[in-house]
Amino acid sequence: MPGLNRVQIIGNLGADPQQKETKNGTKFTIFSVAVNRYWKDAKGETNKRTDWFNVESWGKTGEICMKILQKGTLVYLEGELRTSRYEKEGETKFFTKVVVNRVQKLDYSGKEKESPDTHEISDGAAEEE
């Protein structure tokens, strides 16, 4: 049976995106996204929890993220989960991230509504590290 690895997130950027580069010179973009969850407890009081997701984007998608996203931006992301493994002080550590292939900015200022290229939607293939 085939597998499925698909993630869809709507949330706010926790900081401005950062552009990085692999050892081979390939550029990619990283940022974090916060998603708030709300629920009522047994007493009827509203509770909130924020989940943080580490995000990575490559190619044209990464370029668009650098151009249109900033801290606080409400964004829709679609991609897949990837887990990296590394050694630290003799212990194996794991790092899970969302590698996006589609991004859309969801909050626009008046100026951005007049200029469609500032809120591009990108469908890009995620590249390997």
Residue whose entry in the numeric block shows the structure tokens 């924020």: 50
In terms of residue numbers, what domain contains 113?
7-37+49-123
CATH of the domain at 78: 2.40.50.140
| Structural domain includes residue 129 | no
End-to-end alpha carbon distance in the chain: 27
pTM higher than 0.75 for the full model? yes
Distance CA 28, CA 62 (A): 6
| Structural domain includes residue 13 | yes
User: Helices (DSSP H) in 2-128: which residue ranges?
Assistant: 59-68, 110-114
The count of structural domains within the chain is 1
Distance CA 12, CA 14 (A): 6
| Structural domain includes residue 65 | yes
| Structural domain includes residue 44 | no
33: tokens are 């996204």
- The pLDDT tens digits of the residues spanning 47-79 come to 999 999 999 999 999 999 999 999 999 999 999
